[in-house]
Structure formats: C-alpha cells, structure tokens
Chain A
Amino acid sequence: MAILLQQLINGLAIGAVYALIALGYTMVYGVLKFINFAHGDVYMVGAVIGYALAVPLVHAGAPVGVTLLIIFLGAMLGCATLGFFIELLCYRPLRKRPRLVALITAIGVSLLLENLFQNPAVFGANPRTMPHLFDIKPVISFHVGSSPDPVTINNLDLITLSLCLVLMTGLTWFVLKTRTGLALRAVSFRFDTASLMGINTDWVISVTFMLGSALAAVAGVVDAMRYHVEPLMGLSQGIKAFVAAVLGGIGSIPGAVLGGLIMGLVETLLKGYLPSAYSGYSDAAAFFVLILILLIRPTGLLGKPIAEKV
C-alpha cells in the first residue's frame, strides 16, 4: 500500500511536467489546428536558458529564492520570445497553405533547434548537470500500514505540482476572463469569422505561441533541476506530452492536464509493477494505453465529439 502511494506520487510529479508541455500543444492546435512538433524543443531551450542563468547566479552566490525566480522568469521570457519568432518567421508565411506544409515545417524547426544546440559553440551534445540550488528533501513524510519505508513527497515534487496547478488555473482564468482570452476562444471557434469581427488574429496566434512556450519553459527548468540538460531532452518528453494532449482531447486545456497526469501515472505504475524483464517496455505500454483509449473515445477523454458532415 505504501509502495503504491509512493508510486502514485512519483507518477503525479512527472505527469505534471507532461501536462505543462501538453498545454502548449493543445493551445496551438486549438487555434491553428496543426501540431507544433517543435514544441518539445522549445521545452529543451527553456532548460538550457535555466541552466545558463543558474550557473553564473550560483557562482555569484545569489540567494536561492532570487536565483529560482530569475531562472524561471528568464526561461519563460526567453522561450516566449522564441515561440513568437518561430511562429512569425516559420508558420505565419504558410498560414494560407495546406496544414501539412506547416506540419513539415514544424518538424524542420524541431530538427534545426536540436542540431543547433548540439553544436559545441551553442551548447554541445554532452549532458550537463544544473548547479546545486537546494537540497532535495522530503517535506511531507508519513507511514502507511506496517511498511518500514515512509511515503514521502519531496520539495521538488511539491514545487512541480503546485506550479502546474497555479499555471493551469492562471491559464484558465486568462482564457475565460480576459478580452484576449475571449478573442482566443473566438479564433479557435471560427478563424475566419473572428477576423471578420475585427479580432487581430495574428496577435492572438502570437499570444498563444508565447503562452505555450512559456509553460514549456517552466517544464524545462523543472526537469533541468530534476535530471540534467541535453539538446535531445525534448524528444521523448515532447512525444509523451503530445500523446498526453491527444489522450485528454486535443484542443482542450483541462484535457491536456488530465492527459499529462494520466500519462505520468500509467508510465510510473507500469515501470513499478511490470515484471522486471519487461519494465524497460513501459513507454511502449503507455502508448498502447493511448491506442486503447482512442479506440473507445476517438476525440480523447475531454474532447468534443466531432459532428459528422453528411
């Protein structure tokens, strides 16, 4: 029982990161109906910016709180700018072309970012570890049943989960309560009509990219602290987050969060409970779960059913 609880906590912590990345996929899909495959690499750039800011700050002996604030805000700002320019330079000129063209371009942008950061002059292919910011230690620890090991939630897990919750709440507020949010919903509902109603669709799309990229940056910095930073880190995280977005119903914001958390839980439980000879296959099994869910609910868990045009 204690082990199961601990595994659920482990799963929620990694699921929260998937959720943060999945939000970016789902928002872009919501307005443009295309998958931004470069999003996983924006997450990687967030981790790199966090690392690049943390090194001099820790070296200079800045207080932990200030360092954390600067690396999170810096990475968010940096990635929002990156997202803005990716959309402006790569996707906007192709807006009137078939969606497939933008999709292929997204893959191109993804490869460009990955290879650019593998260049030693930019970052290099070797993984680097974030400088030590704070001790990761259990903040909540309790015993369940007769198990000698306590169930623990450490400070980094807690930070990840609360960041995910706060940002998702903030995003929901933004989409539902602000004028830009209203415009965003209008564009997502019907692109051409929204622009006829005087909505600056280009600006709305830019905002969508900047928001999604800033959220990915948060995920990147969290993972940089938890694991390490390397140019291909966005590859598997990006695919898993994309799957999470589809699982939750692509285009739906609560769906992305739900999908992310489910992906994290399924992956962790499979790793923890599959017989050891098979636990290396947990990723494959997680994707199998996706196929199952999509067979039953093709639009994802919280996706709107598509009315068939006859």
Chain B
Amino acid sequence: MLAKAIRFVCYSTLLLVASLAISGCKKPPVQSNEILIGEYGSLTGSTAVFGQGTHKGIMLAVDEVNAAGGLLGKPVRVITEDDEGNQDEAVSVVKKLIDLDGVIGVLGEVASTRSLAGGGVCEDEHVPMISPSSTNPDVTKDRKYVFRVCFTDDFQGSVGAQFAVKQGWKKVAVLSSANSDYSKKLSYFFTQTFSQSGQIAAAETYNDGDTDFAPQLTGIRAAAPDAVYLPGYYTEIDLILKQARDLGITCPFFGGDGWDGVTLDKTSEGCYFTNHYSPEDPRPSVQTFIKSYEAKYNGEVPDAFGITGYDAANVMFDAIKRANSTDREAITAAIASTTNFPGAGGSITIDANHNAKKPICILEITGGKTHLADTIQPQ
C-alpha cells in the first residue's frame, strides 16, 4: 500500500516536472550568421491571394535590405510557412517558426482570425510580430508583442458608412460572415456609423467556406436595399455576387480590403471597396514601390497585400537596426517606438495601441478594373 502511494507520488512529480519543463521553456533565438525572420501566411487555400501578395512584398523588401548589406552586418533570411488559410495550422506553423527555426521576429497574417491565433503564440513566447494587414482592433489589443502597419476596422467601417451616405444610399443591407473576426468587427463598425443617418434594411450572416447564399440573398432581395455592405473575403464574395446577380439583385455591393482578389467581371461591375492602396495613387513612395515590384515580378502590378507586406518587413528591419541587436525584447521596444517611418504606403507611426494610422483608398470597379475613387485621410 505504502509502496503504491510512493510510486504514485513519484510518477506525478515526474509528470509535473516534465510538463513544467515543456511549457516553461522559452527557446532563445538560434545563434546564426543570418538574421532569421519568420513569415506565416495563406499561400494556398481560399484566401491564397492574401498570402501570395504579402509574400511577394516581403521578399522584395528582403532583396532590397540584403542588396544594401543586410542588417547588423548579416544577411536577412525569411522562413516562410503556409498556414493554408486555417487558424489551427497558423498556430502550429508559428510555433514551428519560433521553437524549431528560432526566428527573432514574425511577419503575418492578413486574415484577422489567423493573426489573433498566431499573435497569441508570439505573445506567449515573447516574440515580436507585425501583421501587415489585419484590421480587427482585437489583433493588437492588450498585446505587448503584436503590432500592425495598417488601419483598423473602426476607421475602415466608418469610412465605408460615410461613403454610403455620400453616394445617397438610404437603405443598406449588411451580409457578413459569422465566423470571421474581420467580417464581424467591420460590419459592427459600419452598422454603428451608418445607422446614425441611414437605415439598415436587412442584416444577414453566412460562414466562411459556405458556397450557397441563395437563402440570405432572397431575404436581402425582399428588403430592396439601395446597396449591400459585404465585409468578407474574395472567394465568398465571388460566389455571393454571382448568385445575387442570378437572383436579380442589381444594386451595387461594397465592402472592405478583403475584396482585394475579387474577380473583376460583370458581376462585380459598379461595386466599391475600401483598401490600403491603389496602383493609381500618385504619391512618389507608392509609385517607386510599384516600379521595383514590377521589375522583380515580370511586370506584375502589386495588390494591397504586396505593399503592406513590404512595409511590415521594412518596419521590422528598421527596428532591428535601431535596436542594434537580435534580442527579441529590444526589437519589440524598437517597433513600439517607430515614429514617422517612411513606408511605401505612407508614413508609419506605431501608436500606444500598436496600430499605424494610414489613409484609406476607396476603389471602384469599372470596366473590369479597379479605379481610385477617393482617398480618406485618418483624423
């Protein structure tokens, strides 16, 4: 009996020690003759456009920094992991980047749901992370190590609402995704601002990954709105627009930066979306970026994720330079104190909430192309 009790105590102590050892170890960055940065993104899957664009922007920034002699006298190497557009996968690839590769900083994601998941890992492991284009305010909220170099959904949603008012749309229907942190927040902020001056004719939801939207669209058609606010991602938007036109809904649809990647055809003709950037933006910083991007990628015109990925990488590089070390805490402090950094998409100052203030471009889809309709400066 006693022997049993002793054995029990021994085993449970061992188990406790082992679990503490696993959870408590904060793996230091690998000592390397390179500067290792991790990137996670949706290189494949239903949001592949996001990950591909971001990756190309980041690689352009890496080429440029290495051509200029690297950082701290060492070349920069980015290790890229594909999360397949899946939040569970995002958690495991970020863990892999930190624990196995020993990266000193992480770049990613575009989709807010995945940035929230990956950001949680970075926060636990005390590794600085910069999201290029996640707009949900919660991504950086109460997080010490997570930053972003783009605007947030409170700004994006209210700009969308003001735009709707300016267009003279009195009744607007909202169709948002119930399992996307991005879509939920954006529709919330849009509704908050728009309902002050207009009427929300109908509010319907779907789930990311759904393919049939006829039931929701039938409800929206019956509400006869002037326009439909659709804060989602492009794969679902393509299907929604197609099915809406088939059902005979002819009014314009509009949404946020998740529209970048949408098929530009007759179903999306006359639609609008708010975005981080437009290739028609005349500012010299934007045009210089487009030139170097086209030179690297055989004349391919960058999308918004290209420019935000480029800026995120450069803010990380700048912080490493200013910290003058590969210490993760020092780099985190340096990112937090970024002031007036000349990014391609505009000057970047990281505020107390770890967000950047950037102008919003409103794009109109006409003739199978996007055109810059307006630029709204942050207050």
Listed in ascending order, the chain A residues whose CB lies under 8 Å from chain B are 2-3, 6-7, 10-11, 13-14, 118, 120, 124-127, 129, 136-138, 147-150, 152, 154, 156, 223, 226-228, 230, 233, 236, 267-269, 271-272, 276-277, 279-283
Contact A280 B178 (CB under 8 A): yes
Q: Is the CB of B205 within 8 A of A277?
A: yes
Q: Can you identify 29 A-B contacts, CB atoms within 8 angstroms?
A: A2-B222, A3-B218, A3-B219, A6-B218, A7-B215, A120-B44, A125-B48, A126-B45, A127-B46, A149-B224, A150-B248, A227-B211, A228-B238, A271-B206, A271-B215, A271-B216, A272-B215, A276-B202, A276-B204, A277-B178, A277-B205, A279-B206, A279-B215, A280-B178, A280-B206, A280-B207, A281-B178, A282-B215, A283-B207
Contact check, A127 vs B214: say whether CB atoms are below 8 A apart.
no
Known: A223-B211, A280-B207. Is A152-B248 also a contact (CB below 8 A)?
Answer: yes
Q: Give the residues in chain B near A14, CB-CB below 8 Å.
A: 212, 214
Note all chain B residues with C-beta closer than 8 A to A10.
212, 214-215, 218
* B47, chain A: closest CB distance, angstroms: 9
Chain A residue at minimal CB-CB distance from B42: A125
A279 touching B263, Cβ below 8 Å:
no
B235 interface residue per 8 A CB criterion: yes
Q: How far is the CB of B236 from chain A (nearest CB, A)?
A: 10
User: Given contacts A223-B211, A227-B212, A279-B178, is CB(A7)–CB(B218) below 8 Å?
Assistant: yes
Q: Does B73 contact A (CB under 8 A)?
A: no
Measured CB to CB, the closest approach of chain A to B293, in angstroms, equals 21
Closest to A11 in B: B215
Please state if B222 and A147 are interface contacts (CB–CB under 8 Å).
yes
Residues of B within 8 A of A277 (CB): 178, 205
In angstroms, Cα B222 to Cα A136, docked, is: 20
B280 sits at the interface (CB 8 A): no
- In the complex, the answer to whether B246 meets A154 with C-beta atoms within 8 Å is yes
Against A, the Cβ 8 Å flags (1 = close, 0 = not) of B26-54 are 00000000000000000011101000000
Partner of A279, one of B48, B216, B224: B216
- By DSSP majority rule, is chain A's interface helix, strand, loop, or mixed? helix
- Beyond A124-B44, A272-B219, whether A148 also contacts B224 by CB under 8 A is yes
Q: Which residues of B contact A269 (CB under 8 A)?
A: 215
Nearest CB in chain A: distance from B359 CB, A = 31
| B239/A227 in contact, CB under 8 A | yes
Against A, the Cβ 8 Å flags (1 = close, 0 = not) of B197-241 are 000001111110101101110110110100000000001001100
Number of A-B contacts (CB under 8 A): 89
For B263, what are the chain A residues with a Cβ–Cβ distance below 8 Å? 129
User: Could you tell me the distance between the alpha carbons of A57 and B221 in the complex, rounded to whole angstroms?
Assistant: 35
Q: A126-B45, A147-B222, A152-B248 are in contact. Are A279 and B211 (CB under 8 A)?
A: no
Is B325 an interface position by the 8 A CB rule? no
Q: Is the CB of A127 within 8 A of B235?
A: yes
B373 close to A (CB within 8 Å):
no
Listed residue (B203, B206, B214, B246) with the most chain A CB atoms within 10 angstroms of its CB: B214
**A126-B211 CB under 8 A given contacts A3-B222, A149-B221, A279-B204:** no
* Docked CA distance A280–B203 (Å): 12
CB A187 to nearest CB in B, in angstroms, measures 36
A223 to chain B, nearest CB (A): 7
Interface check B329, CB cutoff 8 A? no
Tell me the bound Cα distance from A272 to B219 in angstroms: 6
Is B84's beta carbon under 8 Å from chain A? yes
Decide if B324 is an interface residue (CB 8 Å cutoff): no
CB distance from A3 to the nearest CB of B (A): 5
A272 to B48, CA, bound (A): 30
Q: Which residue of B lies closest to A277 (CB)?
A: B205
Counting chain B CB atoms within 10 Å of each CB, which of A126, A147, A150 scores highest? A126
B55 CB to closest chain A CB (Å) equals 14
Q: Could you tell me the distance in whole angstroms from the C-beta of B113 to the nearest C-beta in chain A? A: 14
Chain A residues with Cβ below 8 Å from B12 are none
Give bound CA distance, A26 to B163, whole Å. Answer: 53
Q: Which of A148, A228, A268 is in CB contact (< 8 Å) with B211? A: A228
